[in-house]
Amino acid sequence: MAEQPVGEQAAPHRGPEYPIYPPPEYAWRPPVPRVVIKRDLLPAVSVLSTVALLGLAVGWLWSRLAPPQRKVITQDGRPANLTDESYHRFDALVIFMLLCFAAGVVAAVAVWYLRERRGPVVMLAATAGGALGGWLAMSVGKAWADGRWPAPSSVKPLDIVSVPPAIESAWAILLWPLATALVYGVCAAMNGMDDLGRRLG
């Protein structure tokens, strides 16, 4: 059999070519999720106010759980700390911080279950509500604690009085919004959906 030149060799048989279906220009693509702002503004205000009102419950619980400090009245009429009673200053602060942390976790999980409103707008509202709730809990908690352990009308030397607890660091209120932002962020990271599941609501 004679060899054919390279340019004259027959092309290999490829069979019929079928069109690609659907064409690329008509292929379905999922919509790109966008941050919804206007539609979430009113629910965000409701979330902020509701989370902030939770501070009343936190303040009341703190006023009931935080221990007072017992002090003895000296000869000059001033209160002096008894042995180991100064540790209650730390107890009052830690109890308040634990309550704020628990409130932040509960608020974040509750807001996360608002599936149709998931997103940064509601998360920022819950975080701001946590900061406001922490301030409210510190304010009303101190007032309720003062009412629970009122100062005696008259004292004399060697009397033992109970001084109401106090929160000596205002930085403790930041634990609530930090816990809310952290837990909400973890829930969003574990979700795995581009729109955080809003369309499934």
- Side-chain half-sphere CA neighbours of 163 within 13 A: 18
Write down the pLDDT at residue 18.
Answer: 60
Supply the pLDDT for residue 149. 85
The Cα angle at residue 80 between residues 77 and 85, in degrees rounded to 5? 150
Q: Is residue 12 part of a domain?
A: no
**pLDDT at 48 (0 to 100):** 96
Q: Is 22 contained in some domain?
A: no
Quote the pLDDT of residue 156. Answer: 76
Q: Is residue 196 part of a domain?
A: no
List the domain range (segments joined by +) for residue 140: 46-191
Has residue 108 been placed in a domain?
A: yes
> Distance from first CA to last CA of the chain, Å, rounded?
74
For residue 49, the model assigns a pLDDT of 96
- pLDDT at site 87: 82
> Which is nearest to 150 in space by CA: 166, 140, 161, 136?
161
User: Per residue in 60-119, pLDDT tens?
Assistant: 999 999 998 888 878 777 777 777 777 888 999 999 999 999 999 999 999 999 988 888
Residue 47 has pLDDT above 80, yes or no: yes
Instruction: Provide the domain count of the chain.
Output: 1
The segment with the largest mean pLDDT, out of 78-82, 166-170, 182-186, 191-195, is 182-186
Give the count of beta carbons closer than 10 Å to the beta carbon of residue 82: 12
